[in-house]
Chains A and B, each alone.
Chain A
Amino acid sequence: MDLITTRTLSKAFIEDILQKAQGYEKAARAKKNLTVLKGKTLATLFFEPSTRTQMSFQAAMLRLGGNFVGFSDPKSTSASKGETLADTIRVVEGYAHAIVMRHAVEGAPARAAELTDLPVINAGDGSNQHPSQALLDLFTLQQEKGKIDGLTVLLAGDLKYGRTVHSLMYALSHYDVDIQLFSPPSLKMPESIVNDVKERVSVKEVTDFGDADVVYATRVQRERFADAEEYQRSLYTIDEAMLSKIKSDAIILHPLPRVKEIAPEVDLDSRAKYFQQSFYGVPTRMAILETLIGASND
């Protein structure tokens, strides 16, 4: 069993992960190591840089009593010498019980999953998907808002290339939510994704944050724009002034790293939940690892 995309996930799988994550939250907070995956090794293959995702998968594995091997700098691996992904996967297969992989090339984790019987977890592939992030985002909603159904969730920033928001769209579509999209015209959510979910969930473009119960901010990256002026026009910042236009009981999330989308003063506001969100990555990934590695032993 693999975790490659949220597009094809069932609600039952999502709910199972959320329930297990709830069970692991206490151990994650207490930084207590369990024995659920004792003797198991996770390979963390980060062909692209990562801070939170890599460390939280590693922390999750340690909390479950397992260990990890891997790399975070592809320059130090055979990939930099031209080794194919297929060869890398076949080699790593001999070292670990599961593979977590981030790659700049879209579809690389799906390809890896075909090459090995080990569970493969997509930790981000280009602008395509980041499914474990979407699951931890749902877990954050559940923990911080007490529910997912009934929420209005606003996705802001680079919705065209942002893999976290692509995964989150599909994950949210299993719930009774209203999705709002806020982005520069050149960085709109791909039509294909909107078409995939629109029969299950309401999706509309908005120009302000006023109705949102959840503001999910993402980075607008300079390299996406050929024109510097258009880039400047496309930037948005949630600052103190903007906070007054956001519901008093809303929460503000961000997959991080942030640049200018959220001003530092917002960190002190009770609605800012992005650091808690980052923590929830550990229990959510504990749930994912237990489910996938446990399932592979059956």
Chain B
Amino acid sequence: MIDPKESAYLKAKKIETGTVIDHVPKGMALKVLRVLGIEDDFPGTVTVLMNVPSSHYGFKDIIKIEGRLLAKKEIAKMALMAPAATVNTIQNFTVVDKYVVQVPSVLEGVVMCPNPTCITRSEGTPRLLVENASPVRLRCAYCEKVYGDKDITY
């Protein structure tokens, strides 16, 4: 049985094919969309529910994206800002796959190293080692510089 506190999000339209991202930390939904590259030119319907009461988290955000499935690499990109999110793949109005986001130990080609004099700015693929997920602590595998959440541009 669904927690009455969480029932609000059911009021939003169900999607036929696409992705529902649940348990996004409160206030992070729009950032997650930006990281996923979903902007005003996206052809499908995007529903964003913010400040949804959650028995686990107090409040959470929920994102429903019509007509778009997420690749593992995209989920990894999102993991830093929504480390406990659940990604549901929907087909024919049914959840066919459920994936709990996990912060990977390495972010390969996901975000750029912020150091302008790092080799990966001119060649190769950026590789950031996740030394700590929360708070975020990343170390570039090449230039060895260490970064927090605020240093990273998505």
Contact = CB atoms under 8 A, between A and B. Distances in A.
B6 to A, nearest CB: 40
B49 interface: no
B123 A128 contact: no
Which of A106, A126, A128 has the most C-beta atoms of chain B within 10 angstroms of its own C-beta? Answer: A106
A266 interface: no
B119 A129 contact: no
Given A85-B123, A111-B123, A7 B144 contact: yes
Contacts of B69: none
Contacts of B123: 84-86, 111
Interface in B113-150: 113, 115, 117-120, 122-124, 139-146
B145 A192 contact: yes
Q: In the complex, which of the residues A7, A104, A110 has the most CB atoms of chain B within 10 Å of its own CB atom? A: A110
Contacts of A110: 119, 141-143
A107 B122 contact: no
A85 B118 CA distance: 13
A5 B113 CA distance: 18
Interface of A: 5, 7, 84-86, 103-108, 110-111, 114, 125-129, 190, 192
Contacts of B141: 107, 110
Report which residue of B122, B141, B144 has the largest number of chain A beta carbons within 10 angstroms of its beta carbon. Answer: B144
Contacts of B139: 192
A85 B144 contact: no
27 contacts: A5-B144, A85-B119, A85-B123, A86-B124, A103-B119, A105-B117, A105-B122, A106-B118, A106-B119, A106-B145, A107-B113, A107-B118, A107-B119, A107-B143, A110-B119, A110-B142, A111-B119, A111-B124, A111-B142, A125-B143, A126-B143, A128-B143, A128-B144, A128-B145, A129-B144, A192-B139, A192-B145
A52 to B, nearest CB: 23
Contacts of A85: 119, 123
Contacts of B140: 107
A128 B118 CA distance: 10
A126 B139 CA distance: 17
A209 to B, nearest CB: 29
Interface of B: 113, 115, 117-120, 122-124, 139-146
A72 to B, nearest CB: 20
A284 to B, nearest CB: 22
B151 to A, nearest CB: 11
Given A84-B123, A85-B123, A107-B140, A126 B146 contact: no
B146 A107 contact: no
> What 9 A-B pairs have minimum CB-CB distances, sorted nearest first?
A107-B142, A106-B143, A192-B146, A107-B119, A107-B143, A110-B142, A111-B119, A108-B119, A105-B119
Given A106-B145, A107-B113, 5 more contacts: A5-B144, A105-B122, A107-B141, A129-B144, A190-B146
Contacts of A7: 144
A262 B119 CA distance: 34
B112 to A, nearest CB: 13
Nearest to B148: A192
A110 to B, nearest CB: 5
B115 A106 contact: yes
A190 B141 CA distance: 17
Nearest to B140: A107
Nearest to A84: B123
A86 to B, nearest CB: 6
Contact of B118 (A84, A105, A114): A105
Contacts of A126: 117, 143
Nearest to B141: A110
B141 to A, nearest CB: 7
Contacts of B146: 190, 192
A114 B126 CA distance: 13
A110 B140 CA distance: 11
